[in-house]
Structure 1
């Protein structure tokens, strides 16, 4: 009994309005006389991309079925707005039953607070569901809580560079394999009147992803661990070298004019219109890429190597998943898990592949090759060079606030701050222990 009710007591202490929510007026608690249990879900699946649409349609299908579940969807596409709203909802006790997150350091505070349901008993009770997952559930496992699992993945990804083969052929360019070749290609593209690779830094995660790739290609996954445990400092010359690379690329115009004023959607628009030659992006882009105007001319390459020893180090892995909130209401929790299963099983992943025209997924299934796009095939071939994957490097950090800290500091490089100032801004948070 103590194990069951402890999370409720913790929530009541953390969020006073939690007790009010238990009275049945907030999402996740319904009168016993009501036939359907309301399961609220918060995620970033807004917009009209094929990947987002199929998730919303699946939730609508669950809502319409005779299963005792009423689904309440709240979709917020902008990542910063989404996390701000999520934190607000938890702080006020208006928590969802299910929410999207990335595990690792980002979810650890919720785990420590007893907010999340341990999904291990549900996975053990359904071996088919459990065994279909690839080895990315580990992002929701924590050494402080051995044997427990506090979320499951909905997406798997890698990041690389999509490029316009027609533009490259017109200018006699070869796709760059090294960072030196990358700069030479960008210089030639600029001279020919093209934006080499618009970044869309209005979305702060863009420079964050760029730094991830620079770290991995320069120093490998050991540097990710070292940054996380503080044996490598964010103001170390090795890191300042990479901030300077980002700053220099921006000043040269590789990311387009006023990169800070364009988001990634605008960057993609430039790429699709033939104004730019390369699009730095993740495989969540595959569905849109396969249906865009230049799909037949699109290729894909790994991010260029800085140190040849780390050519096989890629940004990739879990690209989001779902956790269930421990409301103390067993019926609501069971129904929430039922929804999570429907969104993470192999059957649904296969349906996603069909609408996206390919892609990479966190569960195992037999692909329908007739529905896989040419660009997805190129990504799969490029993956043959991969040896190790790491997601956002701050996901491995001892400080759960580092992701936002680093991204905000990197944005300063696009408004005149120096690499040294960027490093100092990060280290201020590190040294404060916040």
Structure 2
């Protein structure tokens, strides 16, 4: 994404957690008879989050390089909008029939879903297939997109962030423990680290979402990969015992002190620092943290000393070994603005964005890496290989929640692990918001 570190994680997580209300789109937001690839091509307009410069920088690099032909047909023009007001701006532009050629799909999946219902978006999956570019989208990215958008495929994955357990290899070796494959392994490893005077987990309890990610993953492993979709569909409730058990399992880690003292006051930067200075043995986080891990100024334990494993399995659980994932800032294309120039750009982005982003900013995307990506750090390469071999993914805990439930979940997470809120009450509060 844009400049890595705390701001990156905030934006990446923001697309997981930021609230967005329903959009009231007028009829003029749909396509008209003058739109389509046969229409006279205009400029290729990209409306960017003001806070995110990486995507626009990558597009500018492509415009003067691999996508020069597309840029000659439709010149890239970049404008920006603060993320906080982005959804409202998209609503306004959609209502005026003036959406830009390409733009972030909003701060939550509900934004793009409303745009799709108003026939405002290009079916990128179908267009990529027609262009012969379907294979340029990684299977794991396609899986994540379809889970986010009700089985539809109308966004482009400018990132593919996978999440799991990062661990300090030296601390593990010094204490005679191995990377956890099961939840039992995880708790046993944590107990040994705690006994050795090492904080088992670094965690951002102030923002809450790194803790709720643990709950979501436990649910996927114990109940099954469709467990939270079942809640969204009204076929199950978070207050069902199996779901409460997941919250309790994470609460138990807190009760044993495995997140350290005062986890509710620990923010993202502090948690990252705890892990990268060797003060914590494990750290649940997404692959966007690779930029921090690969920065020797931040990483005092060394990139070679960091290992990664997917979230562990749960004994007797019905889940598989899917990686938890998100697609960063997904991009959508306007159907009304989709002309021959936009089609040329879509074709070029599919073929070249993956290598350009990896080379320019070290970003792993949901696109296949075709061509020279430059020198890739070993840790990044190992994660990329794991992504390339994945065919299916799961989402984060709040991905399918409404805004109110998301806020309730994350603001109460620290209370859960501090023992100030029971697992049953924690899940009941969220379920009450979901209805």
Could you say which TM-score interval applies, normalised by the shorter chain?
0.7 to 0.9
C-alpha distance after superposition, 1:118-139 (max 9, x if no partner): 43564355223x3311334466
- What is the deviation of 1:421? 1.9
The alignment status of 1:89 with 2:98, answered yes or no, reads: no
**Pick aligned residue for 1:69 from 56, 76, 80:** 76
What's 2:32 paired with? none
**Pick aligned residue for 2:332 from 288, 299, 323:** 323
The alignment status of 1:345 with 2:350, answered yes or no, reads: yes
Counterpart mapping for 1:79-158 below 5 A: 82=83, 84-91=84-91, 93=93, 97=100, 98-101=103-106, 107-119=112-124, 122-128=127-133, 130-135=134-139, 136-137=141-142, 149-158=153-162
CA pair 318-348 structure 1, distance change in 2 beyond 3 A: same
What's 1:188 paired with? 192
- What is the deviation of 1:362? 2.1
CA distance in 2, matches of 1:387, 1:37: 32
CA pair 378-96 structure 1, distance change in 2 beyond 3 A: same
What's 1:249 paired with? 253
CA pair 96-355 structure 1, distance change in 2 beyond 3 A: same
CA distance in 1, matches of 2:273, 2:56: 24
CA pair 243-277 structure 1, distance change in 2 beyond 3 A: same
Q: Helix, strand or coil for the counterpart of 2:163?
A: strand
Alpha-carbon RMSD across the aligned residues, in angstroms, is: 4.1
Does structure 2 retain, via aligned residues, the 8 Å contact 1:324–1:337? no
What's 2:25 paired with? 11
CA distance in 2, matches of 1:390, 1:222: 8
- What is the deviation of 1:169? 1.8
Does structure 2 retain, via aligned residues, the 8 Å contact 1:62–1:339? no
Q: How many residues align?
A: 382
The alignment status of 1:39 with 2:53, answered yes or no, reads: no
CA pair 219-12 structure 1, distance change in 2 beyond 3 A: closer
CA pair 262-175 structure 1, distance change in 2 beyond 3 A: same
CA pair 383-410 structure 1, distance change in 2 beyond 3 A: same
TM-score (norm 2): 0.72
The alignment status of 1:259 with 2:279, answered yes or no, reads: no
Q: Helix, strand or coil for the counterpart of 2:167?
A: strand
Does structure 2 retain, via aligned residues, the 8 Å contact 1:228–1:394? no
CA distance in 2, matches of 1:143, 1:370: 31
Counterpart mapping for 1:44-59 below 5 A: 45=52, 52=54, 55-59=55-59
CA pair 202-107 structure 1, distance change in 2 beyond 3 A: farther
C-alpha distance after superposition, 1:254-291 (max 9, x if no partner): 22333233333321111111111112112222343233
Counterpart mapping for 1:296-335 below 5 A: 296-307=304-315, 312-320=320-328, 321-325=330-334, 328=336, 330=337
Q: Which has the higher helix share?
A: 1
Structure 1 unmatched runs, 5+ = 1-9, 19-34, 47-51, 77-81
What's 2:393 paired with? 389
CA distance in 1, matches of 2:51, 2:241: 36
What's 1:169 paired with? 173
CA distance in 1, matches of 2:216, 2:236: 15
CA pair 166-247 structure 1, distance change in 2 beyond 3 A: same
C-alpha distance after superposition, 1:1-25 (max 9, x if no partner): xxxxxxxxx73479xxx9xxxxxxx
TM-score (norm 1): 0.72
C-alpha distance after superposition, 1:131-179 (max 9, x if no partner): 3113344665699999x74212222232211111111222222222222
**RCO comparison, higher one (Cα < 8 Å, 6+):** 2
CA distance in 2, matches of 1:61, 1:404: 38
Does structure 2 retain, via aligned residues, the 8 Å contact 1:164–1:278? yes
CA distance in 1, matches of 2:356, 2:149: 36
